[in-house]
Structure 1
Amino acid sequence: MCGIAGIYHLETPKPVDPQRVAAMCDAMIHRGPDGQGVWTAPGVALGHRRLSIIDLAGSPQPMPSPDGRAMLVFNGEIYNYRELRRELRESGAEFRTDGDSEVILAAWQRWGPDCVSRLHGMFAFAIYDLEARTLFLARDRLGVKPLFLAPLSDGSLAFGSELKALLAHPLLRRDIDPLAIEDYLAWGYVPDTRSILKGVTKLPAGHSLLLRHGAPMPRPAQWWNVSFAERRKGKVDDLEAELLHLMREAVSSRMVADVPLGAFLSGGVDSSSVVALMAEKSTQPVKTCSIGFDVAALDETGYATQIARQFATDHRARQVSPDDFEAIDQLAAMFDEPFADASALPTLRVCQLARESVTVALSGDGADEAFAGYRRHVFQHGEDRVRSLLPQAIRGPVFGALGAIYPKADWAPRPLRARSTLLSLEGDSAEGYARSIGFTPPELRDGLYSGDFRKLRGDYRAEHGLLELMRGAPARSGLDRAQYADLKHWLPGDILTKVDRTSMAVSLEAREPLLDHRLIEFAASLPESMRVRGGQGKWLMKRTMRRFLPDQILYRPKQGFVTPIAQWFRGPLAQSAREIASGAALARTGWLDGARLTGVVEEHIAGRADHSRLLWQLLMLDKSLTRLGIA
């Protein structure tokens, strides 16, 4: 795991100052404290920060090919590099190192841009071909590893693993994209289709970019996609056996490392499954870690301890106080862009704990998206049945009217929060899902915006892109489309961004075996009844893991990391909330209606309503604007 950066002149191959690229890399020293390097040629410079994981001393970067024709900088891990090495050596390739970086170079020289389809892993890399004078950029299938791009005023393209690498370049403009503000308020993160800064983009997951001096900037080419359009047939026992084989392969391939390796263990289905399969494969006790809270209602460490005992892991747990808001400024610095997933705080704490004993940690991320594990998937499945029975002409007026008058009951138990379901049923399947995963609904956003900001936003609405994505998905059902949207929008924008930034902030490599693309493709082909059944998601996966895990783990209610932000904004963060409405950087932008926002803040502090998610969202936006020097 590393950080990469570079500059490429699209027109005239002007000289590039190596110090400029070195500064971009130094802004990401946390991603690679073990080594650094910069290479330049006419019109191009590549930089690298290294976190040594495989072939600790033998794979410095930037790395040239044996014939000197190509130069590579690479962030990530290729899990099938040994198999590829054997295949490439049989065709005449020579290798000087024992790592995976040189395998990418050889694959490029053998297959060109098609090499990416042969790589199994997480990656973002750049290869400069000195003879063809081309720069090839590629990002892995699911977007585990990030890559930011920005055209600059001198005719060059700058790229880096994090936005902070681009911010280190003096020619980068820091103009906020108002459409990114709309996106952020809708989703709680800036999706991969946009950046907080105008002109900055992100190479989409499963895409590549081939640049040539003197040629126009091309559009990224999609080299991988997941399809829900086909349905796998077969007996349940056979599908179970195939799933278990894929999970075993995914876990074992991610256990290759020349440094200490362990796993995050929350005691949920996904992390417990990963630890169970690691224990099956390992000859030594698996190193596991978990974070708990000193409030019983928020604490899951008992479940983690149960799994640790069952599989005799070398387990470490640490309790943290729910009043762990001191790291807010640290979070804003990690993410660069505003990021409102409050679970980033406990995720950072578990990464810090893991880094005390390991350099690589396996996580359970990805199974919910692949196997329909979220409550919203179960709801989507049920709501689509209602939609199939009632035409839109009836649903729209009836459920819309009921949703409008039904009280908003954030305080109530989840089954009684019917308002969101009624509003979801008012629209079609895609519209309902967009509402279910949204952070701040469109009617609330519109009420918060100032008149000037509405003009800046124009006709754009954050939901439009998601609706287009879902309606154009290779899929058969509403559940298919919902999961497709999760894999393409939510996963890279929220979950993987959170894990990448919090783990790399402490120089820890996180690996996600349940995001192995073969496992994702298998899950996408399953009939809906193998994903959702009896009000439960991940049906086949849970059935498969019953031979390893007790029902108490497999079928308990999903919890996840909980952060008590509602209490914070009525206590230690109350003044910060008031400053958002008047005096803070966000207030000075004039984007929001100050009087309306003040009312929202005071309603929450007085306990008349729960606006904690919105206030957390606005606080993180304010912190990001301050760090970017925008206001």
Structure 2
Amino acid sequence: MCSIFGVLDIKTDAGELRKKALELSRLMRHRGPDWSGVYACDKAILAHERLSIVDVNAGAQPLYNAAKTHALAVNGEIYNHQALRAEYGDRYAFQTGSDCEVILALYQEKGPDFLDDLQGMFAFALYDSEKDAYLIGRDHIGIIPLYMGHDEHGNFYVASEMKALVPVCRTIKEFPAGSYLWSKDGEIREYYQRDWFDYDAVKDNVTDKNELRQALEESVKSHLMSDVPYGVLLSGGLDSSVISAITKKYAARRVEDQEKSEAWWPQLHSFAVGLEGAPDLKAAQEVANHLGTVHHEIHFTVQEGLDAIRDVIYHIETYDVTTIRASTPMYLMSRKIKAMGIKMVLSGEGSDEVFGGYLYFHKAPNAKELHEETVRKLQALHMFDCARANKAMSAWGVEARVPFLDKKFLDVAMRINPQDKMCGNGKMEKHVLRECFESYLPASVAWRQKEQFSDGVGYSWIDTLKEVAAEQISDRQLETASFRFRTTRLPRKKRICTVRFSKSCSRYRARPNAFLAALPSHALQQKRLSGTNLSKK
């Protein structure tokens, strides 16, 4: 995982802005500790902090075309870069082996209208000095974070994390997923449009389980491109187990050369996190034994989790309680994974949104409403599970890849007949996915009941959070929260006040209110704390 920081539409002294850009980019160096780079001219500044995974020696950023007229800073991975290189190699002179350089080739060929050609996860800023124009883009789901804002002089900023914008920007907004901004138009345009957004386009489709199985295998295989050691996150639930099983199937050969040579690190490592005796740990060990991975159990105590919450809020950049409580074990696990020399992991985020995996989907009255809810949840995923997986792992310089959110796979999975995703009447949630991959897994795992990640790591984790909140936040503090937190959505539960009273903002003492205002408004959605339906987001 990397980070980008850009200053565009420069209206003040570029020399001073360059110094400031380097200072603010350093706030995100945890995302990319391997190398730093910067492009600067009177009109644009692009800074980059690199986590080297593909083309380790020559892939430093910013990237340039041969004439040095186009500069590019990218956070992400382009999984179809080899196909794009083959297509455009006779018309564009590639300077590196970086997967991200295909963005420059596509821009040279098509101008700004190319983002739907990319298969991957990404956020990028491109500056064209010949046209004095810039292009900002983000992947289809918003797997990779990106934020934007203006300072008091009108300079335009983009950054991978909000913390880099808070010191300079009056207001901060999330750059929309599936969109791009071309400065010559001055408008953010949505490029990611699919027929399956509409129920009528899929309601009569015939579900092909073989096609679904093949699509996910191809997705996982494409996500294995790496020149550094990688692993899988294995909770023992269905989603991570399926991803781990497919990864194990292809881990012995290098996907970069169409499996012609042996993998540089052929033994697959799997990682599970939890309190002692947690349900996830037992299930994960069973799957690891079945698959033959080198398995690592990472234990944490409730106190270690509580001690980490302030840092988790700092890195995840949200006060959303459900996200924070699930991010904390992942944050602690990421540190251990990095210490073992692993830079990239595959994870199972997105499956519940695609297949209707949350328990409340049992209440779907019909296939139409189920499908519309899956679409809605996918379109909101960038605020929750994507942010958690990306930022909790990148806090320690580890990249999380999510094959269930691959663009090609989504086009298959979201076009199956929604009726076949309905649960109830003897059918478990995600039964289509279970049927496709039951032969890959132990039956006890293939048909394991859905657990929330934060439940599966140990039930006492959530119980203790509730107890601490009750002890630390008085009824009076809860009643007067409106005077301290100037937001439209006020804390109504002590668990939220505990998070909001955290001193994680102390790093921004000069402008604490600016940091509060920068955090996404969705972080205060109280309905997500319902004790009867904690899995619903």
| TM-score where L is the length of structure 2 | 0.84
1:27-38 pair list within 5 angstroms: 27-38=27-38
Does residue 85 of structure 2 align to residue 85 of structure 1? yes
Structure 1 equivalent of residue 263 of structure 2: none
Shift of 1:593: 12
Q: Hey, what's the Cα distance between the residues in 2 that align with 1:2 and 1:121?
A: 14
Structure 2 equivalent of residue 430 of structure 1: none
Q: Hey, what's the Cα distance between the residues in 1 that align with 2:158 and 2:7?
A: 7
Q: Is the 8 A contact 2:469 2:494 kept in 1?
A: no
Does residue 451 of structure 2 align to residue 480 of structure 1? no
Relative to structure 1, the CA distance from residue 70 to residue 580 in structure 2 (aligned partners, 3 Å threshold; closer, same or farther) is farther
Structure 1 equivalent of residue 312 of structure 2: 331
Structure 1 equivalent of residue 155 of structure 2: 156
Partner SS for 1:209: strand
Structure 2 equivalent of residue 406 of structure 1: none
Relative to structure 1, the CA distance from residue 566 to residue 514 in structure 2 (aligned partners, 3 Å threshold; closer, same or farther) is closer
Relative to structure 1, the CA distance from residue 326 to residue 204 in structure 2 (aligned partners, 3 Å threshold; closer, same or farther) is same
Q: Hey, what's the Cα distance between the residues in 1 that align with 2:93 and 2:31?
A: 29
Q: Is the 8 A contact 2:287 2:442 kept in 1?
A: no
Q: Hey, what's the Cα distance between the residues in 2 that align with 1:364 and 1:347?
A: 13
Relative to structure 1, the CA distance from residue 587 to residue 565 in structure 2 (aligned partners, 3 Å threshold; closer, same or farther) is farther
Partner SS for 1:54: coil
Structure 1 equivalent of residue 473 of structure 2: 577
Larger radius of gyration: 1
Q: Is the 8 A contact 1:13 1:43 kept in 2?
A: no
Structure 1 equivalent of residue 446 of structure 2: 554
Relative to structure 1, the CA distance from residue 579 to residue 86 in structure 2 (aligned partners, 3 Å threshold; closer, same or farther) is farther
Shift of 1:94: 1.2
Does residue 142 of structure 2 align to residue 147 of structure 1? no
Structure 1 equivalent of residue 494 of structure 2: 615
Structure 2 equivalent of residue 222 of structure 1: 190
Q: Hey, what's the Cα distance between the residues in 1 that align with 2:407 and 2:272?
A: 27
Letter in 2 for 1:93: Y
- Choose the corresponding residue for 2:202, options 206, 227, 231: 231
Partner SS for 1:114: coil
Structure 2 equivalent of residue 49 of structure 1: 49
Relative to structure 1, the CA distance from residue 278 to residue 567 in structure 2 (aligned partners, 3 Å threshold; closer, same or farther) is closer
Letter in 1 for 2:320: F
Structure 2 equivalent of residue 412 of structure 1: none
Q: Is the 8 A contact 1:231 1:525 kept in 2?
A: yes
Q: Hey, what's the Cα distance between the residues in 2 that align with 1:281 and 1:499?
A: 23
1:375-524 pair list within 5 angstroms: 375-379=359-363, 381=364, 384-385=365-366, 477-489=368-380, 491-524=381-414
Q: Hey, what's the Cα distance between the residues in 2 that align with 1:235 and 1:337?
A: 40
Relative to structure 1, the CA distance from residue 159 to residue 55 in structure 2 (aligned partners, 3 Å threshold; closer, same or farther) is same
Structure 1 equivalent of residue 355 of structure 2: 371
Q: Hey, what's the Cα distance between the residues in 1 that align with 2:25 and 2:84?
A: 29
Structure 2 equivalent of residue 64 of structure 1: 64
Shift of 1:577: 1.8
Letter in 2 for 1:149: M
Structure 2 equivalent of residue 449 of structure 1: none
Q: Is the 8 A contact 1:16 1:44 kept in 2?
A: no
Q: Hey, what's the Cα distance between the residues in 2 that align with 1:513 and 1:569?
A: 32
Structure 2 equivalent of residue 472 of structure 1: none
- Choose the corresponding residue for 1:203, options 161, 175, 178: 175
Structure 1 equivalent of residue 222 of structure 2: 253
Relative to structure 1, the CA distance from residue 580 to residue 168 in structure 2 (aligned partners, 3 Å threshold; closer, same or farther) is farther
- Choose the corresponding residue for 1:262, options 216, 225, 231: 231
Q: Hey, what's the Cα distance between the residues in 2 that align with 1:570 and 1:337?
A: 19
Partner SS for 1:39: strand
Shift of 1:325: 0.7
Q: Is the 8 A contact 2:206 2:416 kept in 1?
A: no
Percent of aligned positions with the same letter in both sequences? Answer: 26
Q: Hey, what's the Cα distance between the residues in 2 that align with 1:592 and 1:4?
A: 31
Partner SS for 2:112: helix
Partner SS for 2:187: coil
Q: Is the 8 A contact 1:10 1:157 kept in 2?
A: yes
Relative to structure 1, the CA distance from residue 34 to residue 619 in structure 2 (aligned partners, 3 Å threshold; closer, same or farther) is same
Shift of 1:580: 8.0
- Count of matched residue positions in the alignment of Structure 1 and Structure 2: 484
Relative to structure 1, the CA distance from residue 330 to residue 302 in structure 2 (aligned partners, 3 Å threshold; closer, same or farther) is same
Partner SS for 2:384: helix
The farther-off stretch of 267-276 and 38-47 is 38-47
Letter in 1 for 2:370: L
Structure 2 equivalent of residue 9 of structure 1: 9
| TM-score where L is the length of structure 1 | 0.72
Q: Is the 8 A contact 1:3 1:32 kept in 2?
A: yes
The farther-off stretch of 226-235 and 322-331 is 226-235
Shift of 1:13: 9.2
1:344-363 pair list within 5 angstroms: 344-357=327-340, 358-363=342-347
Letter in 1 for 2:407: H
Gap runs ≥5 in structure 1 = 174-198, 386-475, 601-613
Letter in 2 for 1:331: V
